[in-house]
Chain A
């Protein structure tokens, strides 16, 4: 496959709006990744607008969608219309829906400009691999300078020209010059744009935390914009990547947010080298705030601090023994440390341990707990009071470190007492309920066997006694 690193194929995958059938698209995206593509996977139930916005912001060559719930004609055509209206007709559309899309309907969609609707018969004839190879062939075109048509109205009602921003980042990724695009952007001279770095171990919930920050930011500052640059690792073996941060996010689709997912590509780091360019481009575009989210990092990784004005380290209570904390470099460097999944067992202990370690690292032996930038959060609880507190802390630190303060007062949502309590569905002392049940059922079964054995013996004894009674010599 002619898929050189400087002409990476990027594809958005998703199941359609109001459609939860994600099994097929999950198989497809895995094969795409294994063939070296960078896949931005949106999951299921995504509107045409969300998908197209994502495709433009991520500057992909193709969109692959499944639709099993009907309405596919309208859905695919609408995707095509939105792309064309946005001046992004170059993005190819692929689709499938098993037997729900009739052959004559597929034909109708092909004529409308949908690149290919795959039928079950195609699957049988070409095999899944064959289908994906065809998709990749269709998408093997190079993305070059910004289109000259990108001068008219901003696409999709966005606040900035997301097409140009996206393309500039793509050129940076290819190692080509993007200065012509930048030259047209306003805001290049602003120095008040803070970069917030978010890093942490894999699975700590960085994307959810980022999403919660964006949500609160948009609510608190109703005229401000924000850009999110999120990095995920490329697979060494295939060159492909699963860029999976968007799937967790609910706040990023909208005119005031730009999001770009970057694969680390040949770099063996938590941050793509291009991140610096991406940040510069977003600054040039005039976003009021930039978040850089790294891939999952190891204990020693602290590369984020070179990229940002303020760094946040996200971890969970599950780090092992307290001595592990001594090895984490970010506990020396992070401006804020957030322990996510704070509803987990052992969370309070973790908070104490991390605070202790922070005190040692920073020689703050006498500091009170609330003077330390160490906090527990529950990013998966909606409007979690701890996240509200964390957001307030973030704004405060931002002011201390960069002098940037957008409003005089902190937004309302930063008042911890306004938020929700930890959502306790199952009380911690009941968490082993299923084992209790299995133990109890097994104990019942054992009791049945034991009692039935006794009853059998009684039956035998009774039988013997009856026989003895009837024997003449016993009388």
Chain B
């Protein structure tokens, strides 16, 4: 009897794949690892030792990661292959073993008026944070790649709903006082159409900050002053001036990045020194540029160049990143947020976004880049609303990405790890009973933190009616701080793992995404589907579905279509809205004009060089790194229109 069983056992064992055998073999070891007091793991070659428990007020030892108590090997295999601990394939529970200590995933959005005003806001929101995680909103003039101007249809939009940035000097002011090459600083920029130009502004600002530090160390400011004097003999130099608080730099800003305002590092330093500083700075900067042109065409409409040229520019940025070892900066933030805001449900949001991501992968591969050279530079950005699927959006995204990158594209572990920023849903906030909005945001933030997001923005409750104030933004930040620092269950980093509901939902959503992939594929892939306006139509349909359910009351929205107060919970209208001032607008226009004027001699030549490079199909981002020293955003955009074509709108 025993030998029959033994034989059967041996025969079956042969059917186990080596991969599975290994997982089974290592299970005990893995469990032990999480039962110790300290946990060791390596990040980019560095061994990190972290406490694996926290102790509650009651003295209970709360584990940060809890493993299942399964006994059946089948359950254990299933769990390891579909769930696994955070930091292990397929990364369902998270891409890192443990959350980074001393860095909350808080990232707050700011942008208003001129660069000086936004700079002040940045210093305000990051004042007590050890990690400076800045997120930049640009005004619509900048988003469409144009310069501020007195023409009325442009004028009124300068510095509204975002910051006005037209030149590299504006970028220097915007991030002044933050060391852009410090590992604890990370900057995100929400810009798409003109993203390569703005990114070149940013990179130059970062490089010039490092140049400033070098000049300081080598006590060479007197030499720089000579050059400045000569350059500005007949014209006023650019200055940092905030009309609303003219007396000084904001608290926290010690002036880094302002000493070379109006000068480029390469104008004042020897070539070899500058090149060395530049190379180092590029390897150090940390952040994200949105630059996701596919979702722009599908949902958000801030395309400015022909789609194909916009993709080429994105590819150029990525190729430049590889060439220059820009490892800590995401060249794209593949975004579902705007798809969801435009009305898509969470399944569609995730399916379209992942599909867009794989499209970039295919495009970069077709340009000859290696998967492991670029995949780590890709990041994602999702919206988090109230629907049940939002509780697993990160889990499903990580799992599908990891499986595809491993088995289709043969990328390494780092490439398999999908990292994402998430923002609570702006669309779920309402202009009625706005006090209730913080409750919605709190629940959504909880979904996001339980789902192990890498970065989180919580919306302010008054966003549905106006530009958030410092007070409302502070409350929004408090939401995540309270969850992260006060809420006990959030001390466990895989708190939702092992829930039957969560596991079942993960499987359901995963299959729904795959089914959507098939539908897109049947339409010729993402680009083919876009041509038929498949994505736009689907988003519109889903938006309509939501609106009609909300209207009929079938979808209850508290304080909006149910639980109304005695006055009927009317829509609130703000008495006053924060708008940029005349002084700020005019300052932006005049600064831009002065910049154009002092670079008059060089700009035409630089724009020609850019156009020639486009004609020769060279890497345009590399050229832009130089062009932006002499040309404004609008000048560059118009030059690129000539060689790359304008975006053609769709019905």
Contacts and interface: CB of A to CB of B under 8 A. Distances in A.
Interface of A: 16-23, 26, 41, 43-45, 47-49, 69-75, 77-79, 81, 99-100, 102-103, 120-121, 208, 211, 242, 244, 247-248, 250, 341, 380-383, 423-427, 430-438, 440-442, 444-445, 447-449, 451-459, 461-462, 464-465, 468-469, 474
Contacts of B157: 17-18, 69-71, 75
B301 A74 contact: no
Contacts of B139: 70
B609 interface: no
B154 A17 contact: yes
Contacts of B24: 455
B73 A18 contact: no
Contacts of B154: 17-18, 71
Contact of A434 (B155, B158, B407, B518): B518
25 contacts: A17-B157, A18-B140, A20-B300, A69-B140, A69-B157, A70-B139, A70-B160, A99-B466, A99-B574, A103-B573, A121-B571, A426-B359, A426-B363, A427-B366, A433-B358, A433-B362, A437-B408, A437-B517, A438-B514, A441-B404, A448-B77, A454-B15, A458-B12, A458-B73, A461-B8
Interface in B2-46: 2, 5-6, 8-9, 12-13, 15-17, 20, 24
Given A18-B146, A78-B152, A442-B514, A247 B404 contact: no
B153 A47 contact: yes
Nearest to B522: A435
Interface string B342-367: 11000000000001001100110010
Contact of A102 (B156, B358, B574): B574
A434 B525 contact: yes
A23 B510 contact: no
Contacts of B524: 431
A465 B13 CA distance: 14
Given A454-B16, A458-B9, 11 more contacts: A18-B143, A23-B543, A69-B157, A70-B156, A71-B156, A102-B574, A433-B525, A448-B81, A459-B72, A459-B73, A461-B8
B517 A434 contact: yes
- What 3 A-B pairs are tightest by C-beta distance, nearest first? A71-B156, A20-B301, A382-B645
B12 A382 contact: no
B263 interface: no
Interface string B401-435: 00110011000000000000000000000010000
B639 interface: no
B525 A380 contact: no
Nearest to A22: B301
A326 to B, nearest CB: 27
Contacts of A49: 153
B105 interface: no
B526 interface: yes
Contacts, number: 242
B472 interface: no
Contact of A99 (B75, B161, B573, B646): B573
A444 B651 contact: no
B649 interface: yes
Interface of B: 1-2, 5-6, 8-9, 12-13, 15-17, 20, 24, 71-78, 81-82, 139-141, 143-144, 146, 151-158, 160-161, 296, 300-302, 306, 308-309, 311-312, 342-343, 355, 358-359, 362-363, 366, 400, 403-404, 407-408, 431, 464-466, 510, 514-515, 517-518, 520-522, 524-528, 531, 540, 543, 571, 573-574, 577, 579, 643-646, 648-651
Contacts of B151: 78
Contacts of A73: 156
Contact of A440 (B343, B408, B573, B643): B408
B74 A453 contact: yes
A74 B12 contact: no
Best-buried of B76, B77, B342, B643 by chain A (most CB within 10 Å):
B77
B362 A465 contact: no
Contacts of A250: 646, 648
Best-buried of A19, A41, A382 by chain B (most CB within 10 Å):
A382
Given A18-B157, A462-B9, A468-B2, A451 B16 contact: yes
A441 B400 contact: yes
B146 A44 contact: no
Nearest to B74: A456
Best-buried of B140, B358, B359, B431 by chain A (most CB within 10 Å):
B140
Contact of B17 (A99, A434, A451): A451
Nearest to A424: B366
B28 to A, nearest CB: 14
A247 B465 contact: no
Contacts of B525: 426, 431-434
Question: Interface SS of chain B: helix, strand, loop or mixed?
Answer: helix
Contacts of A23: 342-343, 540, 543
Contacts of B15: 454
B152 A75 contact: yes
A431 B528 CA distance: 9
Contact of A425 (B78, B311, B650): B311
Contacts of B153: 16-17, 47-49, 71, 74-75, 78-79
B141 A382 contact: no
A128 to B, nearest CB: 11
Contacts of A121: 571
B155 A436 contact: no
A448 B155 contact: no
B484 to A, nearest CB: 32
A464 B543 CA distance: 57
A248 B649 contact: yes
Best-buried of B363, B517, B648 by chain A (most CB within 10 Å):
B648
Contacts of B312: 423
A74 B5 contact: no
Nearest to B646: A250
A74 B160 CA distance: 13
A69 B144 CA distance: 12
Contacts of B400: 437, 441
B161 A70 contact: yes
A436 B342 CA distance: 28
A17 B146 CA distance: 11
Nearest to A44: B301
A445 B466 CA distance: 47
A456 B308 CA distance: 51
Contacts of A449: 78
A166 B454 CA distance: 58
Nearest to A100: B577
A74 B76 contact: no
Contacts of A427: 366
B116 to A, nearest CB: 19
A444 B363 contact: no
A83 to B, nearest CB: 13
A145 B641 CA distance: 41
B160 A71 contact: yes
Given A426-B359, A426-B527, A441-B404, A244 B651 contact: yes
A100 B466 CA distance: 7
A464 B5 contact: yes
A70 to B, nearest CB: 3
Nearest to A382: B645
Contacts of A208: 648
A451 B311 contact: no
Contacts of B531: 341
Best-buried of B141, B311, B518 by chain A (most CB within 10 Å):
B518
A457 B514 CA distance: 30
Contact of B649 (A44, A382, A431, A434): A44
A44 B140 CA distance: 13
Contact of B152 (A77, A424, A438): A77
Contacts of B152: 48, 74-75, 77-78, 81
B366 A430 contact: yes
Contact of B155 (A69, A74, A442): A74
A457 B362 contact: no
B335 to A, nearest CB: 14
